[in-house]
């Protein structure tokens, strides 16, 4: 595993850390994609439309983690704990 340049320790649960990582991952994806798109197509970098769209996506991620995922939990009837999906293991917390 590669060490990070910065290590920020927060007084929150692992569940909230996972939600924050997902939030920031999507923010970086949106930000970098917008940067590349604006450079290739000569459009405004941080346009109001981009800010609005990104804020809706980030809000949706928070709703997923703190409303939907806390309300509905999917599991296998077989109880197969050895299922090796392509999802990271940390997404299966309960």
pTM of the model: 0.73
Long-range contacts of 81-90 (CB under 8 A, 24+ apart): 90/14, 90/18
pLDDT in tens, 4-34: 788 888 898 878 888 888 999 999 999 999 9
Cβ–Cβ < 8 Å for 30, 54: yes
pLDDT in tens, 59-76: 999 999 899 888 887 777
Cβ–Cβ < 8 Å for 43, 37: yes
């Amino acid at each position: 595993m590669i060490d990070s340049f910065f290590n920020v320790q927060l007084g929150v649960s692992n569940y909230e850390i996972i939600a924050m990582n997902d939030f920031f991952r999507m923010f970086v994806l949106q930000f970098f994609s917008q940067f590349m798109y604006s450079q290739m197509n000569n459009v405004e970098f941080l346009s109001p439309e981009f800010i609005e769209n990104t804020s809706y996506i980030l809000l949706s991620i928070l709703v997923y983690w703190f409303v939907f995922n806390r309300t509905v939990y999917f599991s296998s009837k077989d109880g197969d704990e050895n299922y090796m999906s392509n999802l990271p293991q940390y997404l299966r917390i309960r």
